[in-house]
A and B are shown apart, each in its own frame.
Chain A
Amino acid sequence: MAETSPAPLVDGARTEPVIKLAAARKTYKTGSIEFEALRGVDLSIAEGEYVAVIGPSGSGKSTIMNILGCLDTLTTGEYLLAGENVEELDEVELAAVRNRRIGFVFQQFHLLPSLAAWRNVELPLVYAGVPKDERKARAIAALERVGLGDRVDNKPGQLSGGQQQRVAVARALVTEPTMILADEPTGNLDSHSTEEVLGLFDELHASGRTIVLITHEHDVAARSGRIVHVRDGLVQDENQGAAA
């Protein structure tokens, strides 16, 4: 584990993990057909960790992403996010948890094309109820953080793929979330832009951010501190990545 992590030590041991999945099961029902996407997953992620979840399509990694991102709930099992039992929350509380705790980075960027970069970045702050002036200042600071300080007024269409994904990362950062959850963030990018975005993740990790990256590419996963292999709805094994 990289010791750049600022996680405090209590009695020589790490604090409670910031993310904890215990005996997590998820069953999808389509008519009479049941499909077990997760079949008892245990996963703990400590603060400051950079974890890659890797697996082929159909392995259950997207389900893990949805569960970790509070976009979906478990059939059975437990999900603790920063000590909070997410399974007990209703839709409105889940929205608040997503807003406060999680910064999403999606494969398709998911920027609103009609809004300038800084307007896109301030969106989560709008739902957090942050006052207008503070929102703009924080959005611009986040864009500067990802190296787009000179692009704040550009609309997504005027930016390259790598720049768009960096705007999305700025949007994920702006609320100071507990975890940055990236779903195939380089899936739509060329190798140059991929390096741009992964380099940014390296920097964020170095400054103490908790990052969970879902991918099917081994060389992307290798940049993380810990690689979790998922297959057939189960965690198969774990090994250290380059950042460890």
Chain B
Amino acid sequence: MNWVETLRTSWFAIGSHKMRSALTVLGILIGIAAVILTVGLGLGTQKDVSSQISSLGSNLLIVSPGSSTSSSGVRGGFGTGSTLTQADAAALGSKVNAPDIKGVDAEKSSSLELTAGSANWTTTVVGVDPSYLGVRQRTLETGTFLTAQDVSDEASVIVLGSETAKELFGYTGVVGQSVTISSQTFQVVGVLAASGSNSTSNLDDTALVPMSTMASNLVGGSSANSVSTVYLEAANADALPAAYQEAKSLLLTRHGITSASDADFTISSQNALVSTATSVYKTLTILLTGIAALSLLVGGIGVMNIMLVSVSERTREIGLRKALGAPPGAIRNQFLVEAGTLGLTGGIIGAALGVVAALVLPGIIGSSIEVSGLAIGLSLVVAIGIGLVFGVYPATRAAKLAPIDALRTE
């Protein structure tokens, strides 16, 4: 019996039990669609997170005060110490000490209330250097940025994030307006272009003032000279490791620390952030895919169940076919093809459903789903494979039926 005949016979058998076949296909279908969606969601989220982190600026090293790894004794937690100073930032900016560092942006941030007319809005006010735009890879939508002159004058000027401007004024063309912080009046000189938000902080809801103004007029006192973060821009991506080493040894020397493990600061890079986030989402994806794969397994067991029912229901047919000259192999193939066809049908419909859902869902849940051709191809192979694997036992049972016993079954 050739394959065309086997296919025809199997199709006929599937078609003559439409309801049963449809329910069996449904099991596989749900499994395949679930796998495609979870894998796609995982990949999409990973990509989202990577691009969000990259939007912080490339070639970037982030120096934070405090240490996240405590080896011995008592140490201030990550980000809590005030061990980084403006002098540190200035030293890092020296071409002699750190030739691979192109730009330095020391920042000092505090959550403060801004008032404009009757509107008020609490946001992160950041004292920055004029190098901010270059280091953080931001652009202005309108106006000018803070200048070195502003810093030396401790000028009361401010650059607003686009969202902050909208919250206070309702629109972004607000250069020349004034806002009040802690009863001091600041003149708006520029508005940042929107950058998109990341998961930890909204880059568009912020207000920038000169570092000197921030230190002396807004958060004075003992911590006037400390900075909350220093952003370092390496000359290029290849220089990142060298810049890391230079910054580290320079800061260790300046702080009089001999052992690197006792450092009172932490330097992290974009890559480290990206890989941490990626590994978290990878784990999550594997977990979800595992659950989806379980549903696929259940679907496969459904195929086996239906095939066993089909074999016992058609015992007489099998006996007759054998009496008429069907070798065991032909009977086995017939049931295998039947199971494989159920699997493949479920796979095709499931993949189609998964792709449609991947197109529709992002608009609803807000995170992107990335469906690759490879994932679709693989899931089709898996679907047909599941049909075949779970069809082997019923098919073998059918092939082994003795024709006389099979014919006598009523």
A: residues with CB less than 8 A from B are 66, 69, 71-72, 91-92, 95-96, 98-100, 104, 106, 110, 112, 114-115, 123-124, 126-129, 171
List B residues 303-341 near A (Cβ within 8 Å).
316-317, 319-330
Contact of B328 among A69, A91, A100, A128 (CB under 8 A): A91
Cβ B329 vs Cβ A110 within 8 A:
no
Cβ B324 vs Cβ A123 within 8 A:
yes
- 12 further A-B pairs in the complex, CB-CB below 8 A; given A91-B327, A126-B5: A69-B323, A71-B402, A92-B327, A95-B328, A106-B407, A110-B320, A110-B407, A114-B12, A127-B326, A127-B327, A129-B1, A171-B324
> Which residues of B are found within 8 Å of A128, using beta-carbon distances?
325
Cα A168 to Cα B41 with chains together (Å): 58
- Residue on B nearest A181 in the bound complex, by CB: B323
Cβ A95 vs Cβ B12 within 8 A:
no
Question: How far in angstroms is the closest Cβ of chain B from A77?
Answer: 18
Point out which of A71, A92, A171 has the most chain B C-beta atoms below 10 A from its C-beta: A71
Interface size for chain B: under 10, 10 to 19, 20 to 34, or 35 or more residues?
20 to 34
> Which residues of B are found within 8 Å of A126, using beta-carbon distances?
1, 5
Point out which of B12, B16, B327 has the most chain A C-beta atoms below 10 A from its C-beta: B327
Cβ A127 vs Cβ B16 within 8 A:
no
Q: Does residue B403 face the partner (Cβ distance < 8 Å to A)?
A: yes
**Interface of A: prevailing SS:** helix
> Which residues of B are found within 8 Å of A99, using beta-carbon distances?
324-325
- Residue on B nearest A128 in the bound complex, by CB: B325
> Which residues of B are found within 8 Å of A95, using beta-carbon distances?
322, 325-328
Cβ B323 vs Cβ A71 within 8 A:
yes
Cβ B316 vs Cβ A72 within 8 A:
no
Contact of B325 among A72, A106, A114, A127 (CB under 8 A): A127
Cα A95 to Cα B404 with chains together (Å): 13
- Residue on B nearest A127 in the bound complex, by CB: B325
> Which residues of A are found within 8 Å of B403, using beta-carbon distances?
71
> Which residues of A are found within 8 Å of B316, using beta-carbon distances?
110
Q: Does residue B199 face the partner (Cβ distance < 8 Å to A)?
A: no
Cα A109 to Cα B261 with chains together (Å): 89
Q: Does residue B2 face the partner (Cβ distance < 8 Å to A)?
A: yes
Cα A124 to Cα B12 with chains together (Å): 17
Cβ A124 vs Cβ B2 within 8 A:
no
Cα A72 to Cα B320 with chains together (Å): 14
Cα A126 to Cα B326 with chains together (Å): 9
> Which residues of A are found within 8 Å of B12, using beta-carbon distances?
114-115
List B residues 10-25 near A (Cβ within 8 Å).
12, 16
Would you mind naming 11 contact pairs between A and B with Cβ atoms under 8 Å apart? A71-B404, A91-B328, A92-B327, A95-B325, A110-B316, A110-B319, A110-B323, A114-B12, A124-B324, A127-B324, A171-B324
Cα A127 to Cα B326 with chains together (Å): 6
Cα A171 to Cα B324 with chains together (Å): 9
> Which residues of B are found within 8 Å of A114, using beta-carbon distances?
12, 16
Cβ A98 vs Cβ B325 within 8 A:
yes
Question: How far in angstroms is the closest Cβ of chain B from A16?
Answer: 24
